[in-house]
Structure 1
Amino acid sequence: MSAFLKSVGERIRSIRKAQDLTQETLAEKAGLHYSYIGGVERGDRNISLETLEKIIDALGVLPVEVFQFDYADTEQEQVDKKQLVKALNSLLLSRNVQEVKLVHRLAKDILATIDEQRVQ
């Protein structure tokens, strides 16, 4: 098992769990067998790009997200992040469109500043 396959598999597992998907559900969405998904997540399978594309499409993420190993969260961090996003969503649902656009613009500016600081 290569370290790269293991990293990709762990990242797929992390994304799947963050979406509250079972291996069976992901496999069904990707047109694969659930045991195959398990093998991918463990890094036991040397999957083709075509199969990786099916998994990425089934997860509904950008391909780059599967390769963001430096930012891969622990399972608990994924759960915490998901709860915070839900809380933020609840706050925004009661607001009008202009207010939501303002919060969105502010969030983008804040995140751009954080990203710039990371690069420096």
Structure 2
Amino acid sequence: MADNIFAADPRGFEVECADERFRRIQNKHPETARFLTKAIIREAIEKPQHRTIYSSPSNPNRHIYYGKRYPKFEIKVVVDFNSKLGTIVTFHACSRRPPEERMIWPITNQ
């Protein structure tokens, strides 16, 4: 049986990624394939950096999680949501965060 990723983010939203999809994403980013494990991707979703979640500027249903930091980059996981169920779209190493990403969680009073 395939070892799919199942995780819940800090809001309780569920995220999944089929094993086949995980391998396809890894193949698109061979520079990170040796260290971006399913456990690291799961941790980025369950415990994002600073417990903060962002949304894509081009698609509000696409949520962004930043995970483990390395000296020159951090892990970025992008998830498409349909209600409270999400599917991983991609993950990769990211050296800088785009300034147009909008923080969506936690919700702060301004």
Where on the TM-score scale, by shorter chain, does this alignment land: which range?
under 0.3
Which has the higher Rg, Structure 1 or Structure 2? 1
Bigger helix share: 1
Bigger strand share: 2
- What is the TM-score of this pair, normalised by structure 2? 0.26
- What is the TM-score of this pair, normalised by structure 1? 0.25
